[in-house]
Structure 1
Amino acid sequence: MRHRISELFAGAGLFLRGFGTWAKSPGLMAMGAVPALIVGTLMLALVIILSFQVGGWAAALTPFANGWDPVWADLLRVALSLGLLVGVIVLCVLTFAAVTLAVGDPFYERISRSVDQRLGGDHEAPELGFWGSVRKGLRDAVVLIGMAIGTGLVVFVVGLIPLVGTALGLTLGAILGGRALARELTGYAGDARGLSLADRRVLLRTRSWRTMGFGIVAYLLLLIPGVAVIATPVAIVGATLLVRDLRGEPTTAPTAAPTSAPPAAPPAAPGTP
């Protein structure tokens, strides 16, 4: 258990180290925050609108409860409303990541590459051509959004459990959502190394608790409006560090070798002026 906890903290630490890049490359990180700001604003508006609709959806889904005692009918519909809301939030967080990465693709690729250049071992994704890139991007987006929908549905069903459903749904959302985010965010570093989505899944499973620690922190920070804007480019840095760490590549910049001092002059011979 202690090993698993240390792995969780190690994964979280890889994500949090990405915040230091704001000091090293503020211009590049700011460019990465712009797509997150645009998509995040739209997603937040969508969540606010949907939050006012879940009560009506819950009532429409439970016509059989109209003849129940009002207390039990209300409890059922409140639980269903909370389950729907948690599922919507999970779906929006994961979809936010997928859409933001698609919109800001050039910026995030540059951020990931800058990390590799700084740490040594510059990797560059193989050239696929325009249509090859479009097909790959669409294929990955469909797979990732499909995973987001599946995760949202699972969280929604768990959220229906009486009394503890909401807490379980939020916890499960962080775990499953964190895993899905780890797969999404490592795409740039993985592409640069010629790794497919299936290859990334295998790589992330080699240290599953470390991957989970990274993903849970990413999920929780991307869940907070405003913070998500700053944290999105940070997540790309952290994901690149995660890939490097799992592949045994250095995650700290090489230190410059100390300049050797010139050899001391030999002592003068006796009687030399």
Structure 2
Amino acid sequence: MRDLGVGFGRLLEGQRWMARHDRQYGFGLLPGLITLVLYGAALTALAIWGDDAVTWATPFADDWPSPWLGLFRGLLTVVLFALALLLAVLTFTAVTLLVGQPFYESLSERVDRDVSPDGTAPQSGLPLHRELWISARDSLRILVRAALWGVLLFALGFLPVVGQTVVPVIGFFVTGFFLTEELTAVALQRRGVELRDRLTLLRSRKLLVWGFGTPLGLAFLVPFVAVFLMPGAVAGATLLARDLLGEETAEARDADETADGDEDEPVSGS
């Protein structure tokens, strides 16, 4: 259970790091704002025409008596919007990272240099267009996985009681996992860690991943919050990536040296 607290702590540390380096914070908000406007327009359109879409997709229910027709289509409309909202949360990070790739890449490198004992950061050595291609390709693969989970959870949502209690909780943990994958990818791609290896790494530390990603996913459900948390989330994910790879930080090194010094200090007698 300790990993849950560590993961959440990395999320908070990322936000604090960003607060101490606010010069570029304004630029970090722009990609999120652009993505938010696009997603807001799509969800608004779904809210307006969702009923029509459900009616078109369920012609077999046209002759059902009242109130079953209204209840059935009303439930499907709600579930459809909930699924769209889940997918929006899952894909918001990927789209925002693509829009703001140069900034977030630079931000992640700066965090690495700041916390690294030797003040250096791993470099991918790839040109920007190659990094964009890899990021877009991997994000699409993650989106397919997330969509499959979304369809499964959508179907399970029809189960009595379980669909309204257990399934939403599972959905939040799934969201947290994929959010963490997208965010840590910025730092892990610079280290040459491929998608398959990243997923294996994340699965090996699920509690750490959930501690970071699940609270962030819940926060992202609040309008505009994702925009303001995104730069700090990238910073925190860089710290989390170092944890996943077992990389030492300057803070941990100094703490170890202090502890060693205390142990070596002779105890004075009375």
**Matching of residue 106 in structure 1 with residue 102 in structure 2:** yes
Structure 2: how far apart are the matches of 1:242 and 1:18? 9
Partner of 1:249: 247
Whether the 8 Å CA contact 2:98–2:136 is kept in 1: the answer is no
Matching residue within 14, 18, 34 for 2:14: 18
1:239 Cα deviation from its structure 2 partner: 0.8
How far 1:111 sits from its partner (Å)?
1.3
Return the offset for 1:70. 1.1
Corresponding residue for 2:140? 142
- Cα deviations by residue, 1:164-223 (Å, 9 ceiling, x for unpaired): 535555333312111111111111110222211111112112211111121112211222
Aligned to 2:64: 68
Looking at structure 2, the residues matched to 57 and 163 of structure 1 have their Cα atoms a distance apart, in angstroms, of 26
Q: Distance in 2 between matches of 1:246 and 1:185?
A: 13
User: Greater Rg, structure 1 or structure 2?
Assistant: 1
Q: TM-score, normalised by structure 1?
A: 0.83
Q: Give secondary structure in 2 for the equivalent of 1:36.
A: helix
101, 124, 127: which is aligned to 2:125?
127
Code of the aligned partner of 1:16 = L
Q: TM-score if structure 2 supplies the norm length?
A: 0.84
**In structure 2, C-alpha distance between the alignment counterparts of 1:168 and 1:75, rounded to whole Å:** 22
Gaps of 5+ in 1: 259-273
1:108-167 per-position Cα deviation (integer Å, ceiling 9, x unaligned): 111111111111152223212355334323321321332333233233223333565355
**CA offsets, 1:75-115, max 9 Å, x none?**
21122112111110111122211111001011111111111
What's the secondary structure of 1:128's corresponding residue?
coil
Identity, % of aligned pairs? 35
The answer to whether the Cα contact below 8 Å between 1:86 and 1:159 also exists between their aligned partners in 2 is no
Q: Tell which has more relative contact order, 1 or 2 (C-alpha 8 A, sep 6+).
A: 2
Which residue of structure 2 aligns with residue 158 of structure 1?
156
What is the distance in 2 between the residues matched to 1:211 and 1:86?
A: 23
Please name the residue that 2:199 is paired with.
201
CA RMSD of aligned residues (A): 2.3
* Structure 2 partner of 1:178: 176
Q: Mind listing any 5+ residue stretches in structure 2 that lack a counterpart? A: 259-270
| Bigger mean CA deviation after superposition, 54-63 or 27-36 | 54-63
